[in-house]
Amino acid sequence: MTTRMVPMSDLCQDLYGLSAAPPEAFLNHGKVLLVIAGADGEVGEAELARLVDHQRRTGAPEEVIGQYEEFDHRGAELMDLLPAIRTDVDTWQAAPHLVYHAIQMCGADGVHAESERAQVLRAARLMGVPGDIVLSLHALADMERAVGDLRAALFHVNGV
C-alpha cells in the first residue's frame, strides 16, 4: 500500500532536507507538541498560535491544522503518536525535531518557565533524546531568538 505524501515547504527543504510527509505525520507532529506544551494542563493562545504558524510554514494542509484546536491533549499518549511521524527521508528522526519545536512553542509567550523546561525534558527522555542534545536544542532556540531580536533592532521592525 502506498501512503499519500504531501509536499513540504521550501523552508523544510532548506532547513531540514525534507520534501514530503503523509498528512498523519503533520497531524501527529502537532499533536505531540500540544501534549508537551499542555502537560501543565493547558495550551496557551501564544503556544497554539506558534504551532499553527509553524505548521503552515512547513506546508501542513489546512484540514490538518484545523484539527489542533479540537484535540484533547490531556487524554493523549505521547508514545502512541510518534510512529506516524515520518517523512520521505528514512534517516530522519522525529524526536530531536519535536523537542526543538516544543522548546520554541513553550517559549512563544516570551517566558520559558522552569515547569515548561521540565515538561520538555520529560518528553525528550520518553522519546530517547539525550540530555546534552536537549541542552543544545535550548541553546539553539535561544540563539535564534537573539538573532531575531537583533534583526528587528537593526531594521526597526515592530517599532524597535
Q: What is the pLDDT of residues 19-67, one digit of tens each?
A: 999 999 999 999 999 999 988 888 999 999 999 999 999 999 999 999 9
What is the rounded distance in angstroms from the CA atom of residue 83 to the CA atom of residue 8? 19
Is this model's pTM higher than 0.85 or not? yes
What is the rounded distance in angstroms from the CA atom of residue 39 to the CA atom of residue 24? 22
Q: How would residue 91 be classed by pLDDT, with cut points 50, 70 and 90?
A: very high
Q: How would residue 3 be classed by pLDDT, with cut points 50, 70 and 90?
A: confident
Would the pLDDT of 88 be above 60?
A: yes
What is the rounded distance in angstroms from the CA atom of residue 143 to the CA atom of residue 145? 5
CB 5 within 8 A of CB 66: no
Residue 115 confidence (pLDDT): 78
C-alpha cell at 3: 501512503
Would the pLDDT of 133 be above 80?
A: yes
| Longest Cα separation, the chain | 53
Would the pLDDT of 159 be above 80?
A: no
The arithmetic mean of pLDDT across residues 63-72, rounded, is 94
Length of the chain counted residue by residue: 160
The candidate with the shortest Cα–Cα distance to 108, out of 40, 51, 39, is: 51
Residue in this structure with the C-alpha cell 515547569, named with its chain if needed: 115
Q: How would residue 10 be classed by pLDDT, with cut points 50, 70 and 90?
A: very high
The candidate with the shortest Cα–Cα distance to 77, out of 20, 34, 130, is: 34
Residue 113 confidence (pLDDT): 74
